[in-house]
């Protein structure tokens, strides 16, 4: 069953129900609208812009875009690039591409012009849809991306080198083109996050996307009454596949443009959200804002909020302990996944296993997992090895890269590159990226373990541990520490705190500096290595106060 059938069913069964809401707190309520279907609702005491569409309008918009593509000669298997910030247009464009039989190619909104060009050429993109935030970057490469036949612009004041999506699609027929699709047909190309190098193009078929829908609903029990608050970028499998739980249950989702704690709490209150997916930094920021008194929870009705879950990175147990103290009635869950396994869910903790916080869980619905050594043999519980997953959501291949595909796909198993261990109860703990392991004096150090320990300090907002070259030990562990606002820390404070770590795991160098993360919340360790490795690290001030 292709995933487009779910949209058709929802439009037929619930045509007038709201399916998507966009909230942009940075835009005032009097901003001119471009879609006649959107009703502006004025939330009490709020000054943000709100748009919404129904399932019928969603399906109609997808059909119009599909027919536009077909009228321009786009055929089954052609590629449609999507370079947009989260907005109401995003998902109808994605599904319009799929309904035309094309392959959707979401692009990271942080890409530079050169990175956009690289990914567009790697994925053989035929059509590029972009928004106002990207005019300069696209214009810079417009004459260089020869393969791209059409540039469609979403927004007001269309630049001269592109065509206006709104006016073109509005003049196309709203009937379904009914292009025949099967589970094995290619559906989407996603790009790896680039935390270990330049992005790879990851090809998935419709079976992968449908499996992700089923996994998400199985894990989080979405019903028609749920409201999902979606904050991360839709170009990434993490946000998209969690939204697939709303698609399969025909429930409402809210696209929030902004990650400030007050925006998140207000949106959950205003829209009566039941499920909120947060990245670790956002959850920490919310708790810090509450502790500082910047957010008074008595002013909000959050009684509908039933589930908070986190993914995309290891979750410090100390964070969830703090969260449950503030929100004792919340269920908590975490998922592990990667773009090669169509995002979250191949390993899943489960809301009933909060006593195992710190673990990423067990094999998710419809998935198999194993942990292997360098020879590919299963390791015993308690031993560290590479995590491998197998199931209907595994990618077809790295597009146009047979060598890279062969390195990670072996007998149907996806070798994730993540080091993990299993406890006596069968729960899996993520240790670190295989490429991030630090070998110091012959000992393997796993940065995630050190990071989790350091995050237990009440004054540490964020931390990243990387290896620095050392003549005697080969590498030493360096901790880049970001201090909470209003707190102060010294190197001596950290040294004293680390007495609780085995001596060989204690950081040899402490660096007080911001910790960079990408749009999906992952620490950008290549960036940190480029700053601090291969050169003399400038001595930092002995004390920092923010």
pLDDT digit string, tens, across residues 403-439: 999 999 999 999 998 889 999 999 999 887 777 778 7
Q: Tell me, what's the pLDDT at 193? A: 65
Q: Tell me, what's the pLDDT at 194? A: 52
Query: Does the structure show a pLDDT above 70 at 57?
Result: yes
Q: Tell me, what's the pLDDT at 33? A: 42
d(CA 108, CA 104): 13
Residue pair 195/518 in contact (Cβ under 8 Å)? The answer is yes
Task: For 502-518, write each residue's pLDDT tens digit.
Answer: 787 899 999 999 998 87
Query: Does the structure show a pLDDT above 70 at 45?
Result: no
Q: Share the mean pLDDT of the chain.
A: 89
Class of domain 437-545: alpha beta
DSSP state letter for 341 = G
**Burial readout 291-311 (b: 16 or more C-beta within 10 A, e: otherwise):** eeeebeeeeeeeeebbbbbbb
Query: Does the structure show a pLDDT above 90 at 88?
Result: yes
d(CA 353, CA 356): 6
Tokens 């247009």 belong to residue: 89
Q: What is the mean pLDDT of residues 100-123?
A: 94
Q: Which of 223, 228, 305, 308 is nearest to 269 (CA)?
A: 305
pLDDT bin (cut points 50, 70, 90) of residue 449 is confident
Q: What is the mean pLDDT of residues 269-284?
A: 91
Task: For 287-317, write each residue's pLDDT tens digit.
Answer: 999 999 999 999 999 999 999 998 766 677 8
The two three-digit tokens of residue 126, written as one number: 């035929």
pLDDT bin (cut points 50, 70, 90) of residue 543 is very low
d(CA 164, CA 468): 50
The two three-digit tokens of residue 253, written as one number: 């989702």
Q: What is the mean pLDDT of residues 101-111?
A: 93
Strand ranges for 200-314 from DSSP E: 201-205, 227-230, 252-256, 275-278, 307-310
Q: Tell me, what's the pLDDT at 85? A: 95
Give the domain ranges of the chain: 437-545
Task: For 205-245, write each residue's pLDDT tens digit.
Answer: 999 999 999 999 999 999 999 999 999 899 988 888 899 99
Query: Does the structure show a pLDDT above 60 at 322?
Result: yes
């Amino acid at each position: 069953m292709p995933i487009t059938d779910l949209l058709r069913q929802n439009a037929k069964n619930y045509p007038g129900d709201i399916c998507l809401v966009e909230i942009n707190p940075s835009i005032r309520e009097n901003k001119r609208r471009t879609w006649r279907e959107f009703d502006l609702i004025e939330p009490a005491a709020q000054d943000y812009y709100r748009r919404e569409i129904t399932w019928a309008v969603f399906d109609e918009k997808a059909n119009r875009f599909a027919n536009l593509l077909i009228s321009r000669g786009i055929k089954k298997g052609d590629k449609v690039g999507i370079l947009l910030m989260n907005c109401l247009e995003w998902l109808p464009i994605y599904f319009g591409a799929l309904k035309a039989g094309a392959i959707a190619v979401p692009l990271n909104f942080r890409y530079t012009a050169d990175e956009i060009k690289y990914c567009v050429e790697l994925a053989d993109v035929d059509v590029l849809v972009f928004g106002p935030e990207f005019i300069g970057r696209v214009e810079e490469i417009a004459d260089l991306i020869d393969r791209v036949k059409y540039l469609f612009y979403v927004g007001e004041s269309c630049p001269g080198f592109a065509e206006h999506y709104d006016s073109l699609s509005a003049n196309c027929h709203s009937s379904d083109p009914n292009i025949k699709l099967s589970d094995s047909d290619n559906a989407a190309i996603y790009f790896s996050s680039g935390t270990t190098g330049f992005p790879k193009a990851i090809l998935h078929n419709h079976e992968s996307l449908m499996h992700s829908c089923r996994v998400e609903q199985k894990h989080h029990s979405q019903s028609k009454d749920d409201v999902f608050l979606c904050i991360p970028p839709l170009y990434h499998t993490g946000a998209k596949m969690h939204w697939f739980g709303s698609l399969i249950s025909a429930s409402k989702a809210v696209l929030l443009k902004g990650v400030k704690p007050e925006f998140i709490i207000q949106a959950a209150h205003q829209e009566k959200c039941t499920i909120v997916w947060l990245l670790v930094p956002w959850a920490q920021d919310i708790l810090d804002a509450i502790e500082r008194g910047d957010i008074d929870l008595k002013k909000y009705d959050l009684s509908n909020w039933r589930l908070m879950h986190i993914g995309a990175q290891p979750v410090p147990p100390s964070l969830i302990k703090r969260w449950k103290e503030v929100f004792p009635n919340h269920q908590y869950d975490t998922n592990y996944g990667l773009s090669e396994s169509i995002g979250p869910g191949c390993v899943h903790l489960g809301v009933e296993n909060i006593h195992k916080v710190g673990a990423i869980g067990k094999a998710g619905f419809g998935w198999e997992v194993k942990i292997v050594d360098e020879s590919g043999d299963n390791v015993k519980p308690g031993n560290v090895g590479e995590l491998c997953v197998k199931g209907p959501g595994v990618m077809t291949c790295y597009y146009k890269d047979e060598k890279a595909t062969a390195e990670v796909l072996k007998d149907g198993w996806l070798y994730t590159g993540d080091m993990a261990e299993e406890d006596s109860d069968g729960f899996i703990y993520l240790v670190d990226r295989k490429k991030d392991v630090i070998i110091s004096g012959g000992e393997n150090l796993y940065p995630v373990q050190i990071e989790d320990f350091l995050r237990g300090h009440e004054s540490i907002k964020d931390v990243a541990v990387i290896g620095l070259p050392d003549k005697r030990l080969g590498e030493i562990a360096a901790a880049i520490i970001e201090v909470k606002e209003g707190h102060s820390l010294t190197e001596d404070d950290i040294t004293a705190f680390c007495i609780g770590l085995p001596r060989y795991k204690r950081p040899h160098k402490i660096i007080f500096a911001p910790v960079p993360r990408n749009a999906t919340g992952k620490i950008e360790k290549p960036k940190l290595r480029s700053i601090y490795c291969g050169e003399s690290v400038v001595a930092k001030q002995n004390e920092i106060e923010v």
